[in-house]
A = this chain, B = another copy of it.
Amino acid sequence: MIELRQFRQFVAVAEELSFRRAAERLHMAQPPLTASIRKLETELGTTLLERTNRVERLTPAGRVFLEEARRALAQAERAIRDARRAGEGLIGSLRLTFVASSAHSLLPQLIRSFRARHAEVALDLQEASTAQQVQALQMDRADLGLVVLPLADPHGLTVVPLVRDSLVVALPGGHHLARRRKVALAELSREPWIRFPARYGPGLHSRITAACAAAGFVPQVVQEALQMETIVGLVAAGLGVAVVSPAAADRERHDIGFRPLVGPGTPIGYDIALAYPRATPVVEAFVALARSAAADRPK
C-alpha cells in the first residue's frame, strides 16, 4: 500500500532532480531513498524518473504523479490542520441560543470577544426562552444556551453560572421612593407598573411575578412595552415604575432614577448561566471566554 511518505519522497526527488539532494532535504540517507522510490515505481507499475547515471528528467507518468501527489499532500495537510483547528475550537460552528433579556448587554459583549478570537467559527444565533433552550439543547438543536436559572429540567446539561444580576427599579424623577437607597418589592404593590410583555423573556417575567406573589400582591400593569428605550421613556414621563435588569441603568438621566430592588432583606436577583449538553472545543472556548468576561465584570 502506497503511503504519504513515498509521496513526500518522490516530490523531493522530482523537485531536486537528485537523489542525494532530496535525501538531504528529507533528513535521510540516499540509499533508502533510492530503494523507496524504486519500490514506489514497482507498486505503480511504471517508471517515474528517467535515469542515466543520474536523474535526467521525469517521465510523463512522473510529471502526472508529481502534480497529483502534490495535491494529495496538500489535501492531507489541510485535513490535519483543520482537525487541529477544530480541536482548538478555531473552526467549526456554534448554535447559540439566548434569552431576550441578555440580548442588550451580556450577549453582544460575548459575541464580540468570541468573534475576535474565533473568526472562522460560524455562529448561529437564536433567541429563545429558557425552557425552549433546554429542550433545544437536549434534542441537539443547539450547542450552547444563555439561560436564566433555575432550569426546570437540566437533565444531561452542564450548567455554568455566569453572572448574578440584581434587579433594579426604575422610578420617575421626584417619585417618593426615589429618596431611598434601595426599594423593597412590597413597596411597589400599589404602584402602576410598566413591564415587558410576558412572551418577551418569560423566564425573568415569571420570576418577578412569582416574587410579587410571594410578597403578597399582583403587579398593577398599566402598560407593556418591548423596547428598553420605550420603558425608560414611559417611566421618565411618570406613567409608572418598572423592574428592569441593571443593564438599563446605563440610561440614567435627570428625570429617572434606578434603585436596587430588595426582597425580604436581600437583593432580588436572577442568575444568567450557560448550559450545554456536550463540551465541544468551540463550546468550551466560548464558556471559558464568558467566564473570564463575567469575572472581569463588576457585580
Q: Which residues of A contact B (CB under 8 A)?
A: 1-5, 7, 44-48, 50, 59-65, 68-69, 71-72, 75-76, 78-80, 82-84, 86-88, 91-92, 278, 280-282
Contact A45 B76 (CB under 8 A): no
CA distance A47 to B279 in the complex (A): 12
A-B contact pairs, 14 of them (CB 8 A): A1-B4, A3-B4, A44-B84, A46-B86, A59-B86, A60-B282, A61-B281, A62-B83, A64-B82, A65-B83, A65-B86, A68-B82, A72-B72, A72-B79
CA distance A39 to B82 in the complex (A): 18
Taking A45-B87, A46-B281, A65-B80 as given, write out 19 further A-B residue pairs in contact, using a Cβ cutoff of 8 Å, ordered by the A residue number. A1-B5, A3-B4, A3-B5, A4-B76, A44-B87, A46-B87, A46-B88, A47-B87, A59-B86, A60-B280, A61-B281, A63-B86, A64-B83, A64-B91, A65-B86, A68-B75, A68-B83, A69-B76, A72-B79
Q: Which of B3, B5, B69, B80 contacts A79 (CB 8 A)?
A: B69
| Minimum distance in angstroms from A35 CB to a CB of chain B | 18
Contact A86 B71 (CB under 8 A): no
Contact B82 A65 (CB under 8 A): yes
Contact B80 A2 (CB under 8 A): yes
State the copy count for this chain: 2
CA distance A65 to B80 in the complex (A): 7
CA distance A68 to B75 in the complex (A): 7
CA distance A63 to B64 in the complex (A): 31
CA distance A117 to B187 in the complex (A): 95
CA distance A72 to B92 in the complex (A): 19
Q: Which of B3, B44, B65, B82 contacts A3 (CB 8 A)?
A: B3
CA distance A62 to B44 in the complex (A): 31
